[in-house]
């Protein structure tokens, strides 16, 4: 899966799945634009990309903010002149449900980053992806496909369901222009998502989440990265509008 001479934008590249995936693209020869809020973490990932002999551009942006989000594509074009793949990976969870009075706040918070920013970025990226016959990979979740086992995260699930339908609609619109749009839908992944989103004790949750999977195992970041790279590669040239579940059988239970 060579990405030689390709440029890839990875949002949420400062940790977890995004950081691992950015390095995997670099190992396959891509230069990478790294997007997130935390400059220090971005700089560390950029250093690791450069250690592989590839170019890295760290773009500090809060994707819940429209003006910040608008800078990502122009900065990438100014630096690299083109890009071939957009990985919309940045995501967050906000807690709130119908009976706790936090429903609307949780909905607004989660939709801004998980859906609105993806729509904005994909829209700004599309003219450039048409030039390179590139593609988009959106990182959704099993929460798109089933109600959450954690009721407090209902609006996370709502946001991923919206993201899933956006993936399919975008795939349909961009197909005549030769641009593919796909979705990767992980089950539980072993990384800092739980602590970053203050969802509770990571060790306790890890144990209960492993129990929710048929294989009794929690995926690692690079296992999700492998599916992302496959969908972004020419090997997946016949795949668009698809939902790729990688969940250790979470949906079976
Ligand atoms: N971990 C799981 O179990 C799991 C399961 C299914 C799906 N997913 C999805 O996988 C994707 C990646 O999450 P992860 O598991 O790798 O967790 P993570 O380590 O918490 O990574 C989330 C990334 O998104 C960035 N981000 C969050 N809010 C942002 C904002 N407003 N602006 C810019 N960047 C922002 C974070 O960077 P900064 O904080 O530096 O901004 C970080 O790089 C998410 O879409 C998540 O919903 C995760």
Which of 85, 106, 118 is CA-nearest to residue 148?
106
Can you give the CATH number for the domain in which 73 is found?
Answer: 3.40.50.720
Looking at 76-80, 90-94, 204-208, 217-221, which range is the least confident one?
Answer: 204-208
| 7-11, strands of its sheet edge to edge | 56-60, 31-36, 7-11, 85-88, 135-139, 180-186, 243-246
Whether pLDDT at 197 is above 80: yes
Residue 182 pairs in a beta bridge with: 137
Tokens representing 72 are 């990502």
96 three-state secondary structure: coil
Mutate to test the pocket of ligand 1, among 13, 16, 46 (most ligand atoms within 8 A of CB): 16
Torsion sign over Cα 39, 43, 44, 48:
positive
- Total structural domains in the chain? 1
As a whole-number percent, the residues of the chain with pLDDT over 90 amount to: 89
Instruction: Confirm or reject: Cβ of 188 under 6 Å from ligand 1.
Output: yes
For residues 72-87, average pLDDT: 98
Tell me, yes or no, if 156 is annotated catalytic.
yes
For residues 115-125, average pLDDT: 99
Q: Please check whether residue 239 lies inside any domain of the structure.
A: yes
Q: Which atom of ligand 1 is nearest to the CA of 160?
A: 47
Domain residues for the domain of 208 are 7-252
Q: Please check whether residue 185 lies inside any domain of the structure.
A: yes
Tokens representing 243 are 């939902």
Q: Please check whether residue 1 lies inside any domain of the structure.
A: no
Task: Report CA(175)–ligand 1 centroid distance (Å).
Answer: 28
Residue pLDDT, tens place only, 123-146: 999 999 999 999 999 999 999 999
Residue of the CA atom closest to atom 17 of ligand 1:
193
Mutate to test the pocket of ligand 1, among 60, 62, 90 (most ligand atoms within 8 A of CB): 90
Q: Please check whether residue 154 lies inside any domain of the structure.
A: yes
Q: Please check whether residue 153 lies inside any domain of the structure.
A: yes
Q: Which residues contact 202 (CB under 8 A, 6 or more apart)?
A: 192, 194, 195
Instruction: Confirm or reject: Cβ of 186 under 6 Å from ligand 1.
Output: yes
Whether pLDDT at 149 is above 80: no
Q: Please check whether residue 87 lies inside any domain of the structure.
A: yes
Which of 168, 195, 183 is CA-nearest to residue 232?
183
Instruction: Confirm or reject: Cβ of 60 under 6 Å from ligand 1.
Output: no
Q: Please check whether residue 2 lies inside any domain of the structure.
A: no
Whether pLDDT at 148 is above 80: no
């Amino acid at each position: 899966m060579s990405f030689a001479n390709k440029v890839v934008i990875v949002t949420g590249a400062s940790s977890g799945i995004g950081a691992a995936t950015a390095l995997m693209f670099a190992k396959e020869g891509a230069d990478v634009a790294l997007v997130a809020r935390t400059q220090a973490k971005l700089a560390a990932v950029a250093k690791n990309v450069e250690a592989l002999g590839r170019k890295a551009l760290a773009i500090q942006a809060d994707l819940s903010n429209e003006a910040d989000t608008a800078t990502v594509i122009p900065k990438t074009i100014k630096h690299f002149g083109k890009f071939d793949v957009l990985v919309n990976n940045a995501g967050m969870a906000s807690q709130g449900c119908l009976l706790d009075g936090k429903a609307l706040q949780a909905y607004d918070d989660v939709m801004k980053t998980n859906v609105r920013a993806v729509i904005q970025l994909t829209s700004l990226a599309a003219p450039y992806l048409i030039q390179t016959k590139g593609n988009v990979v959106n990182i959704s979740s099993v929460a798109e496909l089933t109600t959450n086992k954690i009721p407090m995260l209902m609006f996370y699930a709502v946001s991923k369901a919206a993201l899933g339908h956006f993936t399919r609609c975008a795939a349909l619109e961009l197909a005549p222009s030769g641009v593919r749009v796909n979705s990767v839908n992980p089950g539980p992944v072993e990384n800092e998502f739980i602590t970053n989103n203050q969802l509770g004790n990571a060790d306790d949750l890890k144990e209960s989440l492993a129990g929710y999977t048929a294989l009794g195992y929690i995926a690692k970041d690079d296992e999700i990265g492998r599916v992302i790279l496959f969908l972004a590669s020419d090997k997946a040239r016949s795949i668009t509008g698809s939902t790729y579940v990688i969940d250790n059988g979470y949906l079976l239970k």
